[in-house]
Amino acid sequence: MQRTAQDWLVFAQLTHHNAMAVGMVIGFQFSPQFLLLPWTGYAADRFDRRRLLITTQAVMAMLSLVLGILDVTGLVQLWHVYVFAFLFGCVTAVDAPARQTFVSNLVGDVDLSNAVALNSISFNVARMVGPAVAGVLISGVGSGWAFLTNAASFCAVLGSLGFLRRNELHQNKRAGRSPGSFVEGFGYVWKRADLKAIFFMLFLIGAFGLNFPIFISAMSVRVFHGDAGQYGLLMSIMAVGTVTGALLAARRENPGFLLLLPAAAIFGTGFALACLMPNYELFGLALIIIGISTQTITTSTNSLVQLSTEPVMRGRVLAILIAIALGSAPVGAPFVGWISDRFGPRQALAVGAASGFAAAAVALHYLMKHRQFRINFRTGRPGFSIDGGLHEQVAAIRTRLE
Mean pLDDT by groups of 10 residues along the chain of 402 residues:
89 85 85 79 84 96 96 93 94 89 82 78 76 85 92 95 90 58 77 92 91 86 84 83 80 76 95 94 94 88 83 81 76 87 93 96 91 64 57 52 49
DSSP state letter for 77:
-
Tell me the C-alpha distance between 240 and 291, whole Å. Answer: 7
Q: Tell me the helix, strand and coil percentages in the chain, rounded to 5.
A: 80, 0, 15
Which pLDDT score, from 0 to 100, does residue 268 have? 96
Q: Which residues contact 278 (CB under 8 A, 6 or more apart)?
A: none
Single-letter amino acid, residue 211: N
Task: Locate the domains of the chain by residue range.
Answer: 2-164+181-401
Single-letter amino acid, residue 225: H
CATH 1.20.1250.20 fits 2-164+181-401, yes or no: yes
Which pLDDT score, from 0 to 100, does residue 69 have? 96
141 C-beta neighbours (distance < 10 Å), count: 12
Q: Sign of torsion, CA 15 20 22 26?
A: negative
Which pLDDT score, from 0 to 100, does residue 275 have? 94
Nearest to 216 by CA among 368, 19, 6, 9: 19
| Residue 385 DSSP SS3 | strand
Which pLDDT score, from 0 to 100, does residue 378 have? 58
Nearest to 206 by CA among 84, 339, 26, 24: 26
Q: Which residues contact 352 (CB under 8 A, 6 or more apart)?
A: 208, 209, 211, 215, 268, 271, 336
Tell me the C-alpha distance between 357 and 286, whole Å. Answer: 16
Q: How many residues does the chain have?
A: 402
Nearest to 82 by CA among 162, 170, 18, 178: 18
Are the beta carbons of 40 and 119 closer than 8 angstroms? no
Please compute, for residue 185, the number of CA atoms within 13 A of its CA located in the half-sphere on the CB side. 30
Integer CA distances (angstroms), 354 to 32, 349, 351, in order? 26, 9, 5
| Residue 105 DSSP SS3 | helix
Q: What stretches of 209-307 show up as alpha helix (H) in DSSP?
A: 212-218, 228-250, 260-276, 280-307
Q: What values do phi and psi take at 388, rounded to 5?
A: -95, 25
| Residue 386 DSSP SS3 | coil
| Residue 120 DSSP SS3 | helix
Are the beta carbons of 37 and 320 closer than 8 angstroms? yes
Q: Which residues contact 318 (CB under 8 A, 6 or more apart)?
A: 41, 44, 97, 100, 101, 302, 305, 306, 309
CA dihedral of 276, 282, 285, 286, whole degrees rounded to 10: 10
Which helix (H) or strand (E) segment holds residue 148: the answer is: helix 143-163
Task: Tell me the DSSP string of 353-375.
Answer: HHHHHHHHHHHHHHHHHHS--EE
From the CA atom positions of the chain, what is the Rg in Å?
A: 21
Tell me the C-alpha distance between 91 and 63, whole Å. Answer: 10
Task: Tell me the DSSP string of 154-184.
Answer: HHHHHHHHHHS-GGGS-PPPPP---TTGGGH
